[in-house]
Amino acid sequence: MAKHVFEVKKYRVTLGDHVTTWGGKDVRTRGVVACFGDHLRLIFFFLPEGEASPSAVWSEDARMACSFLPFDVLPAFVDLLRNEKPITGNIDTESPGNSFINTGDEPVGEEERGGVGKLLRDS
């Protein structure tokens, strides 16, 4: 079992319905967030409601983990990537479905100027 932690240096967001094949089954995705480090990639596929979720995958050859999540959580991922720094990618090769991204430590009371922080304050 290996756990990899890496700095996310770039990301790419893709929106729109498209079909990809996993384990011989076609899966309809509505969005993709790809996080890139120097030698590792973490790809989150966001599925529409009702779409069956394939098992998460780790590819040693590609140094990439792929995970499948509901589409309604995509905005939180995009907000985090656009508004926070640094961002860390975390991959567990034995359990790639437990892969995640997170921020670094931040001072208590740091004010958010938009995104989810603003949404929470305004609600």
Predicted confidence band at 115 (pLDDT cuts at 50, 70, 90)? low
Q: What mean pLDDT value characterizes the chain?
A: 89
Predicted confidence band at 104 (pLDDT cuts at 50, 70, 90)? confident
- Please, what sign has the CA dihedral across residues 74, 72, 29, 2? positive
The answer to whether 123 touches 95, Cβ cutoff 8 Å, is: no
Q: Where are the domains of the chain?
A: 3-122
Residue 5 exposed, middle or buried by CB count within 10 Å (0-12, 13-18, 19+): exposed
For residue 32, the model assigns a pLDDT of 96
pTM comes to 0.84
